[in-house]
């Protein structure tokens, strides 16, 4: 199946870099998929800092990415001013009330464990409820691509403070937020209701704004993260749109794109000081 980004509008947040490419999902159907070490991981995985297993996404076919995306930076007023709150209700600690950096780092790591446990449970419930084997394969593939994006995104966010005492806090908080977002997606939690064209325009704007704040090595990392996100978004929407109860293609693309706008806007706000 061709990638949804070329099936629908061939609209990409990286129009020159991605060029409406296609991917070739090749993850075989499996009985389970986990992101925590105590749950069996059925994808080819390698340990990443924390509890979760990272999967390789080398089965994704992407054109030459040596050139940078042609995206115009936008003024701050062009994008949402605040990040989205957690889309799932879980009992977590308020890390901001703690007095030491070490305690805050541990608190954030514990909160991520709560989010990761919930995701594993929701994922297993969703997968077990699928009767169609191809839908199971699509879900497994989308989850693997999400894990690749998640790890790349959080490594990118924490790289701004690499070597500093706050880096573990930033990374764990990123993992927690992205995991909560994934849980909401698997539950088919309704998105913000924005249309895809508007969301895509906002994403190009905020992406350009974040890119303008990066150094040379961070710029390439941002490009790689964005490609990983496109892979995951399109794989998830292929799965989602095939379900009887799923969102239609454009609504799915719009919902995930709007979430990505919030993620990047949060980075822009924290780096602009």
For 75-108, what is each residue's pLDDT tens digit? Answer: 333 333 334 456 666 767 788 888 899 999 999 9
Delimit the domains of the chain by residue range. 4-63+98-271
Give the pTM. 0.70
Residues 20, 259, 75, 221, Cα dihedral to 10°: -60
53: left (phi over 0), alpha (psi -120 to 50) or beta: beta
For 202-250, what is each residue's pLDDT tens digit? Answer: 999 999 999 999 988 899 999 999 999 999 999 999 999 888 877 788 8
Contacts of 66 (CB under 8 A, 6+ apart): none
Integer Cα distance of 28 and 88 in angstroms: 29
């Amino acid at each position: 199946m061709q990638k949804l980004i070329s099936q629908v509008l061939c609209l990409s947040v990286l129009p020159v870099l991605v060029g409406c490419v296609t991917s070739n999902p090749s993850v075989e159907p499996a009985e389970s998929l986990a992101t925590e070490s105590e749950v069996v991981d059925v994808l080819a995985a390698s340990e990443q800092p924390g509890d979760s297993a990272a999967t390789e996404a080398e089965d994704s076919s992407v054109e030459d990415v040596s050139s940078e995306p042609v995206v115009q930076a936008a003024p701050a007023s062009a994008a949402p001013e605040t990040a989205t709150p957690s889309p799932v209700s879980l009992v977590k600690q308020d890390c901001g009330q703690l007095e030491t950096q070490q305690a805050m780092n541990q608190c954030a790591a514990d909160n991520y464990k709560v989010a990761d446990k919930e995701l594993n449970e929701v994922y297993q419930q969703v997968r077990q409820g699928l009767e169609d084997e191809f839908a199971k394969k699509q879900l497994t593939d989308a989850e693997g691509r999400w894990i690749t994006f998640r790890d790349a995104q959080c490594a990118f966010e924490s790289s701004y403070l690499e070597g500093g005492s706050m880096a573990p806090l930033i990374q764990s908080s990123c993992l927690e937020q992205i995991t909560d977002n994934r849980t909401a997606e698997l539950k088919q939690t309704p998105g913000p209701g924005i249309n895809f064209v508007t969301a895509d325009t906002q994403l190009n704007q905020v992406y350009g704004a974040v890119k303008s704040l990066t150094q040379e090595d961070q710029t390439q990392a941002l490009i790689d993260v964005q490609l990983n996100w496109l892979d995951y978004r399109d794989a998830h929407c292929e799965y989602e749109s095939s379900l009887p109860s799923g969102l239609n293609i454009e609504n799915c693309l719009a919902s995930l794109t709007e979430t990505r706008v919030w993620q990047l806007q949060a980075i822009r706000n924290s780096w602009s000081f």
